[in-house]
Structure 1
Amino acid sequence: MIRSLRPLLLALALVATAAAAASPSVEGEALEQVILLSRHNLRAPVVASGALAHATQERWPRWDVGPGELTTKGGVLEVYMGRYIGQWLRQAQLLPASGCPQPADFHAHANSLQRTQATAQFFVAGAFPGCHVAVEQRMPLGTIDPLFDPVVHRDDAAFRTRAVSAMQQALSASDLAPALSVVEGITLYPQSAACTGRSNCHLALADTTFSAEPGKEPRASGSLALASGLVDALLMEHYQGSGIPREGWGRLTTEAQWQALAQIRNRYQDILFGTPEVARDVAGPLLARVDALLEDPASPKVSLLVGHDSNIGSLLAALGITDYTLPGQYEKTPIGGLLQFERWRDRQSGGERFRLAYVYPTTAQLRDALPLNDVQPPGRVELALPGCGQYGCSDVQFERLLHRALN
């Protein structure tokens, strides 16, 4: 069984609270507002039953939380991130240097699932220790908040046809056969229960089909979806650390194998949520929320929105941001990572500048539960915004970018 890391929670109190974050500010600018769109932290995969359980003859490790729930280690990791971001916000003088935040300073809103609500609560515990800061939950626990539900909203046949065609074209342009062979070699898929009674049973892209039905998530069925689920489970085990020195039942041993697994996972997400028209439709509610928070003078200085990789991936694609890499990470939308929408103001001219950064824990930081501080900071990648300059967007450029993504 994967062991609980509750003793590590106790050790948090012994870690130095200073977590200096290097400010990316341009000289003469002041940070005025930040919107954080976060993916939940480390969760247990769904492997106990269904397709993943039958896709290998091996036994998956057991977890000490339910399928899909945030792990204790995930809570620890989120405390680290919250503490780091909280310190950065204070250093940037966006939040008071001491004391608890007021409603005008900070607001948190998370999807109504255990892993997202718990992630937000652990972030708050790290950012504002000893403070009572509520996390907004709009729906009963275990149900999906419409703001974070990555579903198709348009209900017309022509859109569905275009969406499925775009996904199929994206699949056709992907050379994933070698990576699928790596998954087969690790899981021994041809010898699994899923292949019982089938000759020449392999993971192959030819059996993959797509759907984009209104009110449902964009979906794939077939080998690509199965392989992505298998990779997700292996990644979660890697981050959690099962105490087994040889991963993938002793058959996952090289960096080349991990890169192949990452290719499947990242491409699967890109195909489903990264085609432009689908991305704009799926990400519409979150894009509208970001727009509203930036437009409303009464918005909190810092807003935290905690959702999922599909939320981040579709929003980035809707904005036209697809070509980026995150050094030290296998995933393009890693667990515990967050997008930072930043509004800066020139102290002399009063002009506004908008920037977008991806702040994320590296694979090693997740695996080894490393505290985040000025010596060991999280990764930070400045994302180039289409139609804007080196230092971000003017207010007119950013408004045009958001509205184009929303229409």
Structure 2
Amino acid sequence: MIALLLALSLATTAATAAPAPMQGDQLEQVVLLSRHNLRAPVVASGALANATPERWPGWDVASGELTTKGGVLEVYMGRYIGQWLRQTQLLPPSDCPQPGDFHAHANSLQRTQATAQFFVAGAFPGCHVAVEQRMPLGTMDPLFNPVIHRDDAAFRARAVSAMQQALAATDLAPALSVVEAITRYPQSAACSAHSDCRLALADTSFSAAPGNEPRVSGSLALASGLVDALLMEHYQGSGIPREGWGRLNTEVQWQALAQIRNRYQDILFGTPEVARDVAGPLLARVDALLEDPASPKVSLLVGHDSNIGSVLAALGITDYTLPGQYEKTPIGGLLQFERWRDLGAGEVRYRLVYVYPTREQLRGSIPLTDAQPPGRVELVLPGCGQSGCSEAQFENLLHSP
């Protein structure tokens, strides 16, 4: 709580800045699609607990919940984005936002609802801004539920085939060996009945059942879960002096772990046809918000890495890097769908920007300021120029079959 109060104090007083708008352009509307911030991994029991003979570090919150540090980090991001929205004159320079200025909607899990609340606390300190929650806490809101919607055998077959081909195109064996060495997987309870127990992709299988997330079973799923837990511990930082039980200490190892985590996301949610199906509800919401003149100037949608990954893949954006980050969809990162107007020509342009905390900012709880800004990568939308998309081009992207 002391750390959180300090974060709120810093967010209220620190002068933050973001890139100024381009001369002659006016920002008219922004839709923010965010991943929740730092959460506790699921390591107390089950497959991850049995996959290593070591004891996982304890956490001060339940598995999957936003941590206190995650709240601090999100306050920093909220403050930074709020200041940028005022600098661009999209929001008034003072006073609390009105319903026509800002609206927040988060998935109905603790970590997403709490992330949105902390973002609001940073962006609008002292203001009473509600966060929409459409389902009972602990259940998935259909808007953010990354499930397969199509119910036909041909689509399922194509989806599974695409995932299999994506897996075959990547050599993950060296990276899996790194995970084995760090976790001592061959000596774990999961291997107690096997003489030669390894993480190998030969046991991997996929499914794309309607009403369920695209799924993978076997070593790839287990390795991705182990990497996720190690990443969350890395970001948590304090109280974990020896990462990976003292066996995770080189950049080469981290790059191997990142390869597993990123390929896991790409394989499940990054194949084009699967991505368009899974991301359909969110893309429709973004489209509706940007099309409706009655929409708030700023809309915040807080979900998960699978939401961001599938949306980017559905838009045709797969080849991008985020300097200073291991993950392609890092915690606390957000996509900014921006609608700009050229005040001279009157033309509207749409731009997409990825704003995210770097791994150093996450681990060090570094406030986001003009001197220490978050990472910011302008993504080039397919078929559009460096200045963004025209209205027709953007509509074509959103409605790509």
Residue in structure 1 matching 2:14, options 9, 13, 17: 17
- In the alignment, which residue of structure 2 is the partner of 1:368? 364
Report the AA paired with residue 7 of structure 2: L
Pair 1:198-2:194 in alignment? yes
Residue in structure 2 matching 1:37, options 16, 26, 33: 33
Shift of 1:14: 4.1
- In the alignment, which residue of structure 1 is the partner of 2:2? 7
Report the AA paired with residue 22 of structure 1: P
Shift of 1:26: 2.5
Residue in structure 1 matching 2:343, options 347, 354, 372: 347
Matched residue SS, 2:30: strand
TM-score by structure 2 length? Answer: 0.99
Pair 1:313-2:284 in alignment? no
Matched residue SS, 1:147: coil
Distance 2:53 2:397 in 1: 49
1:43-85, Cα deviation, whole Å (9 max, x unpaired)? 0000011000000000001111000000000000000000000
- CA 1:13–1:400 in 2, change beyond 3 Å: closer, same or farther? closer
Alignment of 1:231-380 (within 5 A): 231-380=227-376
1:203-249, Cα deviation, whole Å (9 max, x unpaired)? 00010000000000000000000000000000000001142322000
Matched residue SS, 2:300: strand
Residue in structure 2 matching 1:147, options 143, 150, 157: 143
Shift of 1:132: 0.2
Shift of 1:12: 2.3
1:276-319, Cα deviation, whole Å (9 max, x unpaired)? 00000000000000000011010000000000000000000000
Matched residue SS, 1:146: coil
Pair 1:216-2:212 in alignment? yes
- In the alignment, which residue of structure 2 is the partner of 1:63? 59
Q: Are the equivalent residues in 1 in contact too, given 2:8–2:75 (CA < 8 A)?
A: no
1:113-167, Cα deviation, whole Å (9 max, x unpaired)? 0000000000000000000000000000000000000000000111000000000
Q: Are the equivalent residues in 1 in contact too, given 2:354–2:377 (CA < 8 A)?
A: yes
- In the alignment, which residue of structure 2 is the partner of 1:3? none
Q: What percentage of aligned pairs have identical amino acids?
A: 83
Report the AA paired with residue 230 of structure 2: L
Distance 1:7 1:252 in 2: 30
- In the alignment, which residue of structure 2 is the partner of 1:229? 225
Distance 2:9 2:147 in 1: 43
Q: Are the equivalent residues in 1 in contact too, given 2:233–2:240 (CA < 8 A)?
A: no
Distance 1:12 1:327 in 2: 25
Shift of 1:18: 1.8
TM-score by structure 1 length? Answer: 0.97
RMSD in angstroms over aligned alpha carbons?
0.7
Q: Are the equivalent residues in 2 in contact too, given 1:321–1:386 (CA < 8 A)?
A: yes
Alignment of 1:94-173 (within 5 A): 94-173=90-169
Matched residue SS, 1:355: strand
Distance 1:54 1:149 in 2: 28
Q: Are the equivalent residues in 2 in contact too, given 1:22–1:374 (CA < 8 A)?
A: no
For this pair of structures, how many residues does the alignment match?
Answer: 399
Report the AA paired with residue 5 of structure 2: L
Matched residue SS, 2:395: helix
Matched residue SS, 1:132: coil
Distance 2:37 2:346 in 1: 37
Distance 2:335 2:68 in 1: 23
Shift of 1:9: 1.3
Matched residue SS, 1:64: coil
Unaligned 5+ runs, structure 1? 1-5
Matched residue SS, 2:41: coil
Distance 2:23 2:111 in 1: 39
Distance 1:310 1:172 in 2: 21
